[in-house]
Amino acid sequence: MIFNEEQSMLQDTVRAFVQEHAPVADLRAVRANASGPSYNLELWNQLVELGLPAVALPEDDGGLGFGYMGLLAVLLETGKTIMASPLVSSVAAATSLIQLAGTDDQKSRWLPQLTSGEMTATVAVQEGRHYSLPAVDTQLIDGQLNGSKSMVMDLPEADLLIVIAKTAEGKLAAAVLESSKAEFDAQRYSLMDGRKYSDLTFTQTNVLPNNVLGEGVDRTAEIEQALDIATVATAAEMVGGAESLIERTVQHLNDREQFDVKLATFQALQHRCAEMYCQLELVKSAVFSAFARLDRGKDIHKAASQVKALANDYYQHISNEAVQMHGGMGVTDELDVGLYLKRSRVCNQLFGDAAYHRQRYASALGL
């Protein structure tokens, strides 16, 4: 799988921008400001000027028409510097959800503002310690939300909060709230990757009928597809991070000497790097395949679980190996590789861990 000419040019543009304006030091600055925003707002505004919020959607919906492969090109590059941004929460998850599940009126109300960058959105799905869509227990009955959500990304910056809940009939529903006006309790915190998340509690939170995506029509399939898009988008960022780790590790082995010999000359370390590279190429191929299926209008239910399970396993293993091959300084905060390891651990939990996705994949096969 390769990008077309336009997508390759987009990737080159984003790569140059990220290298100049969004090094890992930017994440360190976000982490250091515990009460500050979830990401660098000035940096996000610059990404908006590049048109990234509109990259995946077709032109008929106000997008740029690069397709989901265009979004993949972006995420691979932002993942390389573990850049904090609402690309997954707003562009991949929320925007896709509105585009797939919303009525024409709902799409015309929200998509132009999302694709222009005038507003951002996020999605609240997970409940408790582990992500599981079948286990969603938040209730949307008679226009009121009751329940709780955990690990919600990019609040309070998100203008819209889309809450996944169950209806009285047990179907999935997506309720759109204005995060600054809706009544709910929020507890904000930072995780080991330096990013900020929120746990939310809803108690008889009012939802207008025209703020439920689909307005009474069952949108379960569309909700699942949108969350699968968010899942493979997370995996794409993980692939970018893993690729950067391999590059950093190989460079370190070529620079570092032991007993007056370059570490890169030791065959055992060469074998470990080769294994890391093979794992990267396997998961990268799976990610490319999933995004290509999206652009062909195909369901990615099984592909999303395959991709996320591989990304969870391989990003964790590659980050472990990178830290070990950097020696004792690999675990210090001064060295960036440790930040990638921490990011890999949090990414494992976002939109489902490896065990969840293996079980989901097996169920899809009827096993």
Query: 128 and 76: one domain?
Result: no
Average pLDDT over residues 228-257: 97
- Do 178 and 226 have their domain in common? no
How many C-beta atoms surround the C-beta of residue 31 within 10 A? 19
Same domain (yes/no): 198, 108: no
**Among 288, 162, 171, 285, which residue's Cα sits nearest to residue 226?**
162
Domain of 9, in residue numbers:
5-115
C-alpha 165/C-alpha 170 separation (Å) is 9
CATH (domain of 42): 1.10.540.10
DSSP assignment of 239-281: HHHHHHHHHHHHHHHHH-EETTEEGGG-HHHHHHHHHHHHHHH
Q: Which has the closest alpha carbon to 236: 321, 302, 304, 297?
A: 304
Residues 321 and 253 in one domain: yes
Mean pLDDT of 192-212: 97
Q: Are residues 14 and 106 in the same domain?
A: yes
Quick one: 113 exposed, middle or buried, by C-beta within 10 A (0-12, 13-18, 19+)?
Answer: middle
List, for residues 94-115, the tens digit of each pLDDT value: 999 999 999 999 999 999 999 9
Residues 128, 22 share a domain = no
Q: What is the mean pLDDT of residues 167-194?
A: 96
Out of 99, 115, 131, pick the residue that ends a domain: 115
Q: Looking at the structure, tell me whether residues 87 and 133 fall in a common domain.
A: no
Q: For residue 121, give every residue at least 6 positions away whose Cβ sits within 8 Å of its Cβ, in sequence order, or none.
A: 89, 90, 94, 95, 98, 110, 114, 158, 159, 160, 161, 162
12 with 94, same domain? yes
Say yes or no: 100 and 46 in one domain.
Answer: yes
pLDDT tens digits, residue range 277-315?
999 999 999 999 999 999 999 999 999 999 999 999 999
Contact 45, 56 (CB under 8 A): no
pLDDT for residue 72 is more than 80: yes
Residue that finishes a domain, picked among 71, 98, 115? 115
Q: What is the DSSP string of 131-177?
A: --STT---EEETTEEEEEEEEEESTTT-SEEEEEEE-TTS-EEEEEE
Percent of the chain whose pLDDT exceeds 70: 100
- State residue 329's pLDDT score: 87
Instruction: Give mean pLDDT, residues 353-366.
Output: 96
Q: How distant is the alpha carbon of residue 255 from its chain centre?
A: 33
Q: What is the mean pLDDT of residues 220-224?
A: 97
Mean pLDDT of 206-215: 96
Domain-terminating residue out of 93, 115, 137: 115
* CATH number for 359: 1.20.140.10
Residue type for position 276 = M
Instruction: Identify whether residues 324 and 250 lie together within a single domain.
Output: yes
Are residues 161 and 104 part of one domain?
no
Q: Enumerate residues 6+ apart whose C-beta is below 8 A from 154.
A: 38, 39, 86, 89, 90, 120, 122, 196
What is the pLDDT at residue 105?
97
State the Cα–Cα distance between residues 13 and 98, nearest whole angstrom: 28
CATH of the domain at 193: 2.40.110.10
pLDDT, one tens digit per residue, over 312-351 is 999 999 999 999 999 988 888 899 999 999 999 999 999 9
Q: Grade residue 49 by pLDDT with cuts at 50, 70 and 90.
A: very high
| Number of domain units in the chain | 3
Residue 144 and residue 263 in one domain: no
